[in-house]
A and B are shown apart, each in its own frame.
Chain A
């Protein structure tokens, strides 16, 4: 099938629709005025300077970064052995464990947020960083497990058997053969976990204490009070970071395979 002019027109409109709000945020962030407006008379970076001077946004950015790093690492540490068992072994309760590991995908984040809030305040952990890490690990683990499973099922299991038949212990065969082959899956699973943790708002808005918020929650609370060029500057920074990340991810993994859950390019 060929793309007719009509189809191309539709594509252009669709991409325009997708880009419009992002372009708008970036334009507004460049204004020189002290209120929301397009930079019609002169471009200024004053709001970016204001952003760097704002301790709240900087602290929230650091919290988000640390939270994403820790929850993605913990999720990946759980996912590497769990996905191996699910992908390679047959045992009773296999289906049930797979369902439990994937269940956070099916439960609305609103409900998770409400549930974690009540649970944490019962055990006296409300508002702490540890609670945030735990909750985020639960939410992002399914992405890590899914990509690890596709990494394990995508490789040739006879390589591991060959290592075993040559006298390697099960542990050695896993560490020296299987895990290195699964590295693309490890990296992409970790990245998906990090991206989802960094973006999570709905659940975190219930769990974050005013003194310790993540960046999306900080942005939300700021917008709730006032929409100014400052929050547009923060948002544009995130858009630029996302574009950089996108280029890198597409080069290394193929963004389509990563986001559609197909796993890294190598298992084709």
Chain B
């Protein structure tokens, strides 16, 4: 019984912390998406770049949902895999699309994306993957 209570105290908190970061991640991604949408509306990027960004956000949204399912399933391997996929996705977007932006748009998008990426890295570290 003692074991049950010790784990009940540790386990759910661990997952709950990650779940809170997942909520923060999804909110940061929405902010980044809105920023890109605004920049496109103001003529700050080409239609092709805009579509690349949106395709990235689509994959990010699916990744967040997969992460949450992994948390529900207590599948720690899947949690780390999903975070890894999303880190790669964001890194690729930064490398491919950021250089196409002009200042100060470039700094703005980098800022909102850094929030997404840092949250991903915190989740990875929280889960023991860093």
A, B: real partners: no
Please give the residue numbers on chain A whose beta carbons come within 8 Å of chain B beta carbons, in ascending order.
none
Binding site for A on B (CB under 8 A): none
